[in-house]
Structure 1
Amino acid sequence: MEAPKRLPMARIGTGSKGQSTPLLSNHCSVTVSKNDGYFCHYNVAMSYDGDRDSVQVKGIGRKVLDEVCKIYGELKNLNFAYDGEKNLFTVGSLSKNRLDFTVVLEEVSSRVGRNRNPDLILLEGDAKRKRRQSRSKTIKVELNYVTKIPMKAIADALRGLESENFQEALRVLDIILRQHASNRDCLLVRQSFFHNYPRNRIDIGGGVQACRGFHSSFRATQGGLTLNIDVSNTIILETGPVLEFLIKNQNVNNAYRIDWNKAKRMLKNLRIQANGIEFKITGLSDNTCRNQRFLLRQKNGNGEVQESEITVYDYFARHKMIIPKQSADMPCINVGKPKRPCYFPIELCELVSLQRYTKALTNLQRTQLVTATRQLPEEKIKAVQNSLRSSGYNDEPMLRSCGITIQPNLSVVEGRVLRPPNLLVGKDEEIIPQNGRWNFNKKRLYHPVSIKSWAIVNFSSGYDTYHLKEFIKKNAREKGMDIKAPYKIIFEEKSDFRHIPAEVRVEKMYANVMGSMPERPQFLLCILPERKNSDLYGPWKRRCLVDGGVITQCIAPTKPLNDQYITNVLLKINAKFGGVNSFLSTERYESIPHVSTVPTLILGMDVSHGSPGRADVPSIAAVASSRCWPQITRYRATVRTQSSKVEMIQSLFKPVDNTQDKGIIREVLEEFTATANGRRKPEHIIIFRDGVSESQFNQVLNFELSQIIEACKHFDEKWEPKFALIVAQKNHHTRFFLADPPQTPHRGRPSPAQLNVQPGTIIDKNVCHPRNNDFYLCAQAGMIGTTRPTHYHVLHDEIGFTADEIQELVHSLSYTYQRSTSAVSLVAPVCYAHLAAAQMAQFVKFDEHTETSSSSHGGVTSAAAPPVPQLPRLHHSVRNSMFFC
């Protein structure tokens, strides 16, 4: 018999701990005056007259329905919401359950712009195709009734009642917002909308721009229906000549230095204009404009069709009186099909506006993006209010017909500020974090380690390693770490090695170190030439952690050394060797409810994916697990690859007798039991899952949690631990601001930064879900920009936490991140899972994908997906360490 499906648990109450504080939220109250009506859902099918194939041209749906509204009375004066594809919703029903319409469009190709140029001759030379494309198309539209969605479902959900129609009703309201934005010629990115205003665009280098828009969506909350409105950002291409874009994108001096293989991958599926007509790029020509030939068909004076071969260059020079000077020796843009190419000289092509850039950003672009999109709380409040005022939602006919009115003011909500947990450092000295931060000035680490055999490896020429060595010795001594003098001060890379491939450089250095030292070193401090993006990082980490079993710390100082920098490095080193930098006092005195007195395993789970459009890059699943119970500060990580873009973790459970891979959970359980006080199996398992949306909650509950339970049964049939499952979300649009900020001593008016909420602010009323067990927590101090809260959803709890207990546990886990001397925005186990996945991803080099590896939608086009490359296993001596720290 199939087990019943798990559903997210209902709220068990709200917390009471902490000092109450009034807050503003970017949720605006919504009143619904119409609860007795209903939406009717219709399926929209479009097909060409005389052709069984449905209309596939993206973006044509709204144009077709616009024509239907102009011609036919059924929709002419009716308010409806259309998603641009196959779903149409009306308030009330149409006259019939099935309606058929026929419309004629003069221009149906996605390549044809509004300013059609009749003189354009397509370069495949097919005269028939030219006439066919310029001819109008007859399109049949069929509307079929699907179901009714009562508006009462919204009111029921707001009262906390179960309603199977609620999500659909809310979806209709969001579709209305998308349609409203589409009518204003916005770029639509889910529920975010972007106008083509120059003031909204900021260059971030490489031919791309940060475009500022706004997000708006309806949310059901304890306080009723709200509109969540926020500033939103996306990355778009810079409008203009294609050649100028490629020069900027590849950071070259002129067009003759362009790498055309990279350009081909970059340009595919982008939209361009040539002669005032819009096309989609399908590729580049194999030959240059001067040499690329095609068959030109022309009628002579007798009306006979004559064929002749001609180059693209000669065609434009003779027939269009355009001489391609700059791009004569460059490939042409192809906008045709594989068997019917259609070429344009690249210098005649311009990128159209508001095209999203979906490739991975460089580190410099990321830095520029953060700077460009950062907003102080006061700036964000003004931007939100301006977006709401200019949205025109209260004049939207469809919303008015639903009886929906949006209030113009930000909602006031109740928050509570939790006290920070007390921390223990060396010699059991207790410290109380201030504003979510603390420091180790004149303080020792709680459990410092000893390192006897180590060395410095220098890949960066001209770096002063003597001062680095002295800084490390001095600061390590102050922190209580026993770091002996290195066997050899430095292993310096030879200057003639710096222009050879990174893997070869790493191999030569590693062989030099191992061949020179009398025994395998415990630790290698590696100085890299570039920060974050060094191509030496991945090969070096893999060689040391996989093959050598040697802990390594990489640094790339860009500024003169100081004590704080070295202290931060030592915090990472100490944690990697099993030391503890700071300790929760509740952890030390075993006073954490449901955790300290019962063997408890804490898991942080995350899946990281490749860049958008990279269907050939596997996703990486990581699980960070606590060890050495009753401690909750020490962790290890288990990492696996899985199919690209798959969010659910596939390797949680694998029967031992079927594969050499025990599965993630069995590996975790064996390690926990081996290190727990009394070698006991966990009776409580607390799971923190990151990176899933609300639509995936049921999958997490009924696939991932089921896999974990199955793995536990396989580990010991008689053992039945209790589980708690909490999802952590950072990717949301709810923000909070102080409604009553502290006054500045001199001017009286608070500074913009003072509108940020205090660290430890928790919200579990007003804007939370009307039924589900969720809360928001701002654990960290908002030092730059506006604080982003983490949204925690307690989906499942057999352990029996009260609201205060689970909130205090989550808050405390934000202070156990060993790399930092400040609270972090996510619980530490999830942060560790992030780090482990990112570092292990560097071990495997994923080549640039080919054209056949992914489609325009990021899906694999081949019938059989290629095997997923597996990550190498870490050396047994570092497998249980915090190598990722």
Structure 2
Amino acid sequence: MEPDSASKKGKELPLPRLIPPHVVPMKENGFLLIEQPKKRRVQMARPGLAEKGQSIALLTNHFKFSVQNIDKHFFHYSVNLKDQDGQPIGGKGIGRKVIDEMERTNKTELGNNGLAYDGEKALFTISQLPQINNEFPVILWGKTFKVELSLVAKIPIQSIGIALKGHVTEMAQEALRVLVIMLRQHAVKKGCHLVRRSFFHDNQSNYTDLGGGVIGCRGFHSSLRLVQGGLSLNIDVSTTIIVRPGPVIDFLIANQNVRDPLQVDWGKAKRTLKNLRVKIRNMECKITGLSELPCNQQTFTFKPKGDSEVSAMEITVYEYYVSHRRTPLSYSADLPCIKVGKSKNTAYFPIEVCNLVSLQRYTKGLTVQQRASFMEKSRQKPRERMSSITNALKYMKYDSDPMLQVCGGSISLDYTQVEGRVLQPPKLIFGNGEEFLPRNGRWNLYNKKLFTPIEVDCWAVVNFSDRSDTNSIIHDLITCGSMKGITFKQPLFVFEENPYMRRALPAARVEDMFDQIMTNLHEPPKFILCLLSSKRINSLIYGPWKRKCLVEFGIVTQCMAPKRVDNQYLTNLLLKINAKLGGMNSLLQLENITAFPIVSKAATIILGMDVSHGSPGRSDVPSIAAVVSSRQWPLISKYRASVRTQSPKEEMIDSIFKLVSRADGKGTCDEGIIREAFVEFYLSSGKRKPDQIIIFRDGVSENQFDQVLYVELNQIKEACKFLDEQWFPKITLIIAQKRHHTKFFLAGGSPDNVPPGTVVDKQVCHPGNYNFYMCSQAGMIGTSRPTHYHILLDENELNPDDLQELVHSLSYVYQRSTTAISVVAPIYYAHLAASQAATFIKFEESETSSSQQEIAAPGTVPVPELPILHENVRNSMFFC
């Protein structure tokens, strides 16, 4: 799936601010000039280029952007829009229409060179207007608007040249922002709908029906970047989810999967419709809610026009439309009205006269089926994607933009050629010391035993499904396990759910099952295989079951809900079971011989950090922070996880270092998430404190890098100091980004994806900062997306080749699969740990009807704490 918004990479150019932060007055000509910014902390510079790997010729979806007339300036004006009564007006839609009309009717006054408008408060020209403060009357829709433009700053285009040398000053940022706005405005004038940095056309050929009243819409992403090769325009295919345009009631019936309007859940409908735009006759309005009363009871004050004899009267919305507007209403009488406007300007309309306008994003969560359909239909093979990108670039005709022409700007239509390198995959070791070199990022466990298989001697099976082949599954699992070296004894007991409990609440079903377990067994088993009727993402049983096992009893559990049980399915299941119970499925050869230069030379702990958020539109669901840490140094294949809740939608982890008062009143103690990682590393690694900390952080955009570097990193250092004031481990901090739009293609028009192990650190990386792209996985479906790694800090002074080899190797230690994965395993594990912990909270929500839930404002709901995992599983790979 291609996101319509991305956690951005380097360097993503943000949209403009109203007033740059560094300005000084220029008395001789009256305008403001941006001052050289004060010194600020920056990311570390690239120490050099890596060299290992076989060279490979690649193309990338970056297109060279040139600006010739660097002697010119952009003039930044503040925009103040007023209606004919002198009242301020807002909204991007009306603002753009007014400014477009102003430009059309005042070309001479504006210099005939075009302008760039951000849709809100900032406007840029390439010719200075006659006055410092300018006023333009604009007549639109028979109304008179007034546009006030006040000069804010003069921005030299030549400052871009400084940025291309790796020194991104505030002046350069402002100049680059203007270019971004010019490109966005050009897309708007071509009829595109903007969603952040993506553009979508109202064209049926771009639509894919996903069911439930929502549609997948394909468009394209466009962003301007500073790279080693100069300025680059990144164009890519982008997809988003929109509501199906047309009658509101048709959308609601499809969205809630009901037969007719009388079955609609109006509480849910109110949340779904809020802030969507509807067309009513010839005007567009934003929905602010629904009426409390049905259409035939909701009244308003009505006074007929042109009849002074008739006084104002109270009339229902239904009567007004049927009697006064002669509009027949077939089903609206008993349904709520659509409410638009706020306070004194509130208006109500029958639902059947309201039609949803096109290209409106659907921001609520998707069902499993919708998400699967969306992902399947979003995929494009490399050659197909290249064709879509080329067509988008040709369609836009950026070079025709008048302001860009005056700047001497031009955009190449040729893909940028880059030199990549393909790293050699690491050797893996399986049972009996068998070594294997993966091919194309994959390996097969046929006739292989696991490196360290476990013995399962005290286990049970529970069946929450209606399957009748439980004994067959047990037999096949034991047989397949034996082939992989895992010894299963016969289960202690097979527990079938009482039929009368299947309609009970999930928590009650789990309690009843545990009553059976404790009644029939003298002590809890060490492992339970759990059969569910549907996959965990659908199963309401999953959350309470995991919580009961992991928190209260410390039992390792594996859930399964197969449609078909075959040898491949069972093998994948055994990989998870073996890892959860402390075994190892495979080992890197470099780990076995302790010859990994980065890790083996000094005690090294590897951390993976991620934050998981609630579904879109839910601001009352806490976010889950997870930190995964390596243990049993010098291994880099064994991990444990710590998880915490925090405020909804908060990306920075706030529980890294957390001082609390001791229970005995004697000072304070650290209950932060990092302390747990350090203590377990110390106990499992021969009582060695880590000399090196290598951190992989996921899920942050570029504008959050400083927060990670100077908030989260400082908290980690505080945690170290609190444990031992004389302990100063060296830290390497790396951000991993998957949500970006840079793609690589094989030169020569090959239909295949780039090979696994492909790394790029030239031409399209930042000119000064330390970063690189790596595609470690074999892309089997669609176009491979590389991971973009940003090294923000490297106190360990790692050699670029050694660092890339470590990143590549960490893509091969993921214990759940027999393929290299697209991002380092610690980050993937952190995501899994956060997702599993989130189900502990999710199942509690499910016991409240959705129609009774209201979306709370951020910060108004107390953040519930996650329960502490049982000591038996606390340091296991329970998340695997």
Q: Give the whole-Å Cα distance in 2 for the aligned partners of 1:682 and 1:195.
A: 54
Q: Which deviations, in whole Å up to 9, do the C-alpha atoms of 1:704-737 show, x marking residues without a partner?
A: 1111111111111111110101111111100011
CA offset at residue 399 of structure 1? 1.6
Equivalent position amino acid for 2:541 in 1: L
> Equivalent residue of 1:62, what SS?
helix
Contact 1:653 1:666 in 2 (8 A): yes
**Aligned residue in 2 for 1:239:** 245
Contact 1:621 1:649 in 2 (8 A): yes
Q: Could you tell me which of 209, 213, 223 is aligned with 1:207?
A: 213
**Aligned residue in 2 for 1:884:** 879
State whether structure 2 residue 482 is matched by structure 1 residue 474. Answer: no
**Aligned residue in 2 for 1:84:** 119
Equivalent position amino acid for 2:811 in 1: S
More off after superposition, 807-816 vs 686-695: 686-695
Q: Give the whole-Å Cα distance in 2 for the aligned partners of 1:267 and 1:289.
A: 17
Q: Give the whole-Å Cα distance in 2 for the aligned partners of 1:712 and 1:660.
A: 13
CA offset at residue 139 of structure 1? 4.1
State whether structure 2 residue 167 is matched by structure 1 residue 170. Answer: no
**Aligned residue in 2 for 1:462:** 467
Equivalent position amino acid for 1:321 in 2: R
CA offset at residue 302 of structure 1? 5.0
Contact 1:760 1:778 in 2 (8 A): yes
> Equivalent residue of 1:284, what SS?
strand
Q: Give the whole-Å Cα distance in 1 for the aligned partners of 2:260 and 2:73.
A: 60
Q: Give the whole-Å Cα distance in 1 for the aligned partners of 2:197 and 2:307.
A: 57
**Aligned residue in 1 for 2:736:** 728
CA offset at residue 157 of structure 1? 2.0
State whether structure 2 residue 327 is matched by structure 1 residue 322. Answer: yes
State whether structure 2 residue 875 is matched by structure 1 residue 875. Answer: no
Q: Could you tell me which of 565, 570, 586 is aligned with 1:566?
A: 570
CA offset at residue 16 of structure 1? 0.8
Q: Give the whole-Å Cα distance in 1 for the aligned partners of 2:282 and 2:84.
A: 28
Contact 1:149 1:168 in 2 (8 A): yes
> Equivalent residue of 1:365, what SS?
helix
Q: Give the whole-Å Cα distance in 2 for the aligned partners of 1:95 and 1:246.
A: 53
Contact 1:82 1:179 in 2 (8 A): yes
Q: Could you tell me which of 786, 793, 797 is aligned with 2:794?
A: 797
Q: Give the whole-Å Cα distance in 2 for the aligned partners of 1:69 and 1:435.
A: 56
CA offset at residue 76 of structure 1? 6.0
State whether structure 2 residue 521 is matched by structure 1 residue 511. Answer: no
Q: Give the whole-Å Cα distance in 2 for the aligned partners of 1:544 and 1:665.
A: 25
Residues 16-165 of structure 1: pairs in structure 2 closer than 5 A: 16-48=51-83, 54-72=88-106, 73-75=108-110, 77-106=112-141, 136=143, 139-165=145-171
What RMSD, in angstroms, separates the aligned Cα atoms of the two structures?
A: 2.1
**Aligned residue in 2 for 1:115:** none
CA offset at residue 147 of structure 1? 2.6
CA offset at residue 413 of structure 1? 0.8
Q: Give the whole-Å Cα distance in 1 for the aligned partners of 2:465 and 2:553.
A: 22
Q: Give the whole-Å Cα distance in 1 for the aligned partners of 2:264 and 2:598.
A: 61
Q: Give the whole-Å Cα distance in 1 for the aligned partners of 2:220 and 2:49.
A: 31
**Aligned residue in 2 for 1:110:** none
State whether structure 2 residue 200 is matched by structure 1 residue 194. Answer: yes
Residues 722-871 of structure 1: pairs in structure 2 closer than 5 A: 722-740=730-748, 752=751, 754=752, 756-845=753-842, 846=845, 853=855, 860=858, 865-871=860-866
CA offset at residue 95 of structure 1? 2.9
Q: Give the whole-Å Cα distance in 2 for the aligned partners of 1:557 and 1:500.
A: 23
Gaps of 5+ in 1: 108-135, 742-749
**Aligned residue in 1 for 2:406:** 401
Contact 1:640 1:870 in 2 (8 A): yes
Q: Which deviations, in whole Å up to 9, do the C-alpha atoms of 1:744-801 show, x marking residues without a partner?
A: xxxxxx5x3x2x1000001111111111111110100010010000011111101011
Report the TM-score when normalising by structure 2. Answer: 0.91
Q: Give the whole-Å Cα distance in 2 for the aligned partners of 1:324 and 1:522.
A: 65
**Aligned residue in 2 for 1:12:** 47
**Aligned residue in 2 for 1:614:** 618
Q: Give the whole-Å Cα distance in 1 for the aligned partners of 2:514 and 2:175.
A: 62
**Aligned residue in 2 for 1:547:** 552
CA offset at residue 499 of structure 1? 1.6
CA offset at residue 881 of structure 1? 1.0
**Aligned residue in 1 for 2:676:** 667
Q: Give the whole-Å Cα distance in 2 for the aligned partners of 1:631 and 1:171.
A: 46
**Aligned residue in 2 for 1:494:** 498
CA offset at residue 289 of structure 1? 2.4
- 1:785–1:302 CA distance, 2 compared to 1 (3 A): closer
Contact 2:64 2:412 in 1 (8 A): yes
Contact 1:457 1:525 in 2 (8 A): yes
CA offset at residue 527 of structure 1? 0.9
Contact 1:237 1:354 in 2 (8 A): yes
Contact 1:7 1:701 in 2 (8 A): no
Q: Could you tell me which of 354, 376, 396 is aligned with 1:349?
A: 354
Contact 1:614 1:849 in 2 (8 A): no
Q: Give the whole-Å Cα distance in 1 for the aligned partners of 2:670 and 2:330.
A: 61
Q: Give the whole-Å Cα distance in 1 for the aligned partners of 2:345 and 2:237.
A: 44
**Aligned residue in 1 for 2:17:** none
- 1:520–1:404 CA distance, 2 compared to 1 (3 A): same
Contact 1:69 1:76 in 2 (8 A): no
> Equivalent residue of 1:581, what SS?
coil
CA offset at residue 196 of structure 1? 0.4
Equivalent position amino acid for 1:725 in 2: L
Q: Give the whole-Å Cα distance in 1 for the aligned partners of 2:46 and 2:345.
A: 60
- 1:299–1:770 CA distance, 2 compared to 1 (3 A): closer
Q: Give the whole-Å Cα distance in 2 for the aligned partners of 1:871 and 1:358.
A: 27
> Equivalent residue of 1:698, what SS?
helix
Contact 1:541 1:552 in 2 (8 A): yes
CA offset at residue 867 of structure 1? 2.1
Equivalent position amino acid for 1:576 in 2: K
State whether structure 2 residue 369 is matched by structure 1 residue 360. Answer: no
Report the TM-score when normalising by structure 1. Answer: 0.91
Contact 2:758 2:774 in 1 (8 A): yes
**Aligned residue in 2 for 1:118:** none
**Aligned residue in 2 for 1:683:** 691
Contact 1:300 1:306 in 2 (8 A): no
State whether structure 2 residue 443 is matched by structure 1 residue 434. Answer: no
Equivalent position amino acid for 2:871 in 1: H
> Equivalent residue of 2:715, what SS?
helix
CA offset at residue 101 of structure 1? 3.5
CA offset at residue 49 of structure 1? 6.0
Equivalent position amino acid for 1:78 in 2: N
> Equivalent residue of 2:362, what SS?
coil
Q: Give the whole-Å Cα distance in 2 for the aligned partners of 1:463 and 1:720.
A: 59
Q: Could you tell me which of 262, 271, 274 is aligned with 1:265?
A: 271
> Equivalent residue of 2:841, what SS?
coil
CA offset at residue 883 of structure 1? 0.8
Equivalent position amino acid for 2:103 in 1: C
Equivalent position amino acid for 1:711 in 2: A
**Aligned residue in 2 for 1:521:** 525
Q: Give the whole-Å Cα distance in 1 for the aligned partners of 2:94 and 2:312.
A: 36
Q: Give the whole-Å Cα distance in 1 for the aligned partners of 2:674 and 2:73.
A: 47
Equivalent position amino acid for 2:392 in 1: S
CA offset at residue 314 of structure 1? 2.6
Contact 2:303 2:310 in 1 (8 A): no
Q: Give the whole-Å Cα distance in 1 for the aligned partners of 2:724 and 2:151.
A: 53
Q: Give the whole-Å Cα distance in 1 for the aligned partners of 2:464 and 2:474.
A: 16
CA offset at residue 301 of structure 1? 5.4
Q: Give the whole-Å Cα distance in 2 for the aligned partners of 1:849 and 1:757.
A: 48
Q: Give the whole-Å Cα distance in 2 for the aligned partners of 1:300 and 1:79.
A: 45
CA offset at residue 668 of structure 1? 1.4
Q: Give the whole-Å Cα distance in 2 for the aligned partners of 1:510 and 1:379.
A: 53
CA offset at residue 141 of structure 1? 3.0
